[in-house]
Structure 1
Amino acid sequence: MITTDSLTKRYGPTTAVDDLTFTARPGRVTGFLGPNGSGKSTTMRMLVGLATPTAGTATILGRPYTELRNPGRHVGVLLDASAQHNGRSGREVLALGALTMGLPRTRVDEVLETVGLTAKEARRRVKGYSLGMRQRLGIAYALLGDPEVLILDEPVNGLDPQGIRWMRNLLRSHAEAGGTVLLSSHLLSEVAQAADDLLVIGNGRLLAAGAKDELLATTDIEELFFSTTANDDRSERAA
């Protein structure tokens, strides 16, 4: 389970995340939806201890991420597929992760097979990977510790249609096994294909939350996006 309570992040006079409260539950894929610049990535960085909240709290499995022992065994994270070490091979990236988490090296082969990276591709340097291959490697790293919780920021970027279907099935399977998935995207059409629940954010604030089918039946989410973007545009012109 992932829980935030009045989570807030300010950078000087700018409020990136504003009093955000939500819960992502086990057995569910929770879509975290909002336009670019809405505060999704900042929220996810606070969830995994990469940014310190100005106010409020964020917990995973009942504790702050930084208090989890060997967090990779509990939480799989993909925030930026381009952040991988370009000079290492894909296999080396995963082998170092397995060593850090105290996992057997056989786990590397297991996750490579899960994400569809061949032995030949795994031997290549990451600098030669396409974006789609980097995404698959990032997912492999997130799955390495067999975590209960997945936190994924725009995981389908760079994937072809077959890869996108694979990703949806992977997230669905993880949730059906009792795991918690928080999936961010700025594309309603993509999140609607994968999510059970939706959180809609704009200007750092929670605009709507609930079961996907109910929310789509009662809320014009595209209008929420439009109004948020329009407010951003007006603020920029006023500045």
Structure 2
Amino acid sequence: MIEATSLTRRYGATTVVDDVSFTCPPGTVTGFLGPNGAGKSTTLRMVTGLSTPDAGTATVAGLPFRRLPNPGRVVGIMLDASAQHGGRTGRETLRLAASLLDVPPGRADDMLELVGLAGRPARQRVGRYSLGMRQRLGIGLALLGDPDVLVLDEPANGLDPDGIRWMRGLLRRFADGGGTVLLSSHLLGEVAAVADRLVVIAGGRVRAAGATSELLEGQDDLEEYYFRLTTAEPAGAAR
């Protein structure tokens, strides 16, 4: 369970997240949807204890993230797949994380197999990974501690179509097993294919929230935020 209540974050005179509230129940995938700069990443940083809200609260499994004992065993996080040590191999990256989480080292090899990086990719240095391979490694890191909650920021970036289908199936199975998934994206199609619920954010504020099927029935509301084109040359844009 993830609960965000009236989260607000300001940088100087600019409010980047304004009174954002939502709930992610167990057994569901919640798509956190909005254009670049909408406040998605800042909200996720507040949920995961990396940024302190100016107002409001966020809890994971009933507690603020910073009060969770061994939080990696409760919530798996991937906010930036590129934030991995380029000099380590994929296996070294996961085995080091396994020691920090106090899980058996064999769990690292299980995750490499799960995310499609077993064999030669596991022995490669992360600095030589493609973006898609880094995303897979990040998802493996998020799952390493066998958490009940996943928080993933733009996890499909760099994945090919087969990789996107694989990721959707993985998240669906995780939620169907009782897990909670919060999945952010700027692409409606990416999250609508797997999300049970959507939280739509624009300009730092929640504009719509509810079951995916219900929100997609009223696509005019979503189109106001996701398919508006502003141009100095309307005639050329129309062509």
TM range (shorter): over 0.9
Work out the CA distance in 2 between the residues paired with 1:191 and 1:82.
21
Give the equivalent residue in structure 2 for 1:237. none
Alignment of 1:72-221 (within 5 A): 72-220=72-220, 221=222
Give the equivalent residue in structure 1 for 2:53. 53
Structure 1 spans left out of the alignment, 5+ residues: 231-239
Work out the CA distance in 1 between the residues paired with 2:198 and 2:126.
33
Work out the CA distance in 1 between the residues paired with 2:107 and 2:159.
24
Work out the CA distance in 1 between the residues paired with 2:48 and 2:147.
14
Aligned residue pairs total 229
Give the equivalent residue in structure 2 for 1:3. 3
The percentage of aligned residue pairs carrying the same residue is 65
* 8 Å contact kept, 1:152–1:183: yes
Work out the CA distance in 2 between the residues paired with 1:53 and 1:26.
24
Return the TM-score normalized by structure 2. 0.94
Q: Secondary structure at the match of 2:193?
A: helix
1:137-162 deviations in Å (ceiling 9; x for gaps): 00000000010000000001101111
Q: Secondary structure at the match of 2:82?
A: helix
What is the CA distance between 1:120 and its match in structure 2?
A: 1.3
What is the CA distance between 1:194 and its match in structure 2?
A: 1.1
* 8 Å contact kept, 1:79–1:153: yes
| RMSD (Å), alpha carbons | 1.1
What is the CA distance between 1:58 and its match in structure 2?
A: 0.5
What is the CA distance between 1:219 and its match in structure 2?
A: 4.0
Work out the CA distance in 2 between the residues paired with 1:138 and 1:200.
25
Q: Which has the higher helix share?
A: 1
1:222 aligns with 2:197: no
Letter in 2 for 1:139: I
What is the CA distance between 1:223 and its match in structure 2?
A: 1.6
Structure 2 spans left out of the alignment, 5+ residues: 231-239
Give the equivalent residue in structure 1 for 2:29. 29
Give the equivalent residue in structure 2 for 1:15. 15
Work out the CA distance in 1 between the residues paired with 2:80 and 2:193.
22
* 8 Å contact kept, 2:109–2:118: no
Q: Secondary structure at the match of 1:181?
A: strand
Work out the CA distance in 2 between the residues paired with 1:118 and 1:94.
12
Work out the CA distance in 2 between the residues paired with 1:67 and 1:123.
35
Moved over 6 A (4+): none
1:196-233 deviations in Å (ceiling 9; x for gaps): 10000001100000000011102421222356x86xxx
Return the TM-score normalized by structure 1. 0.94
* 8 Å contact kept, 1:202–1:225: no
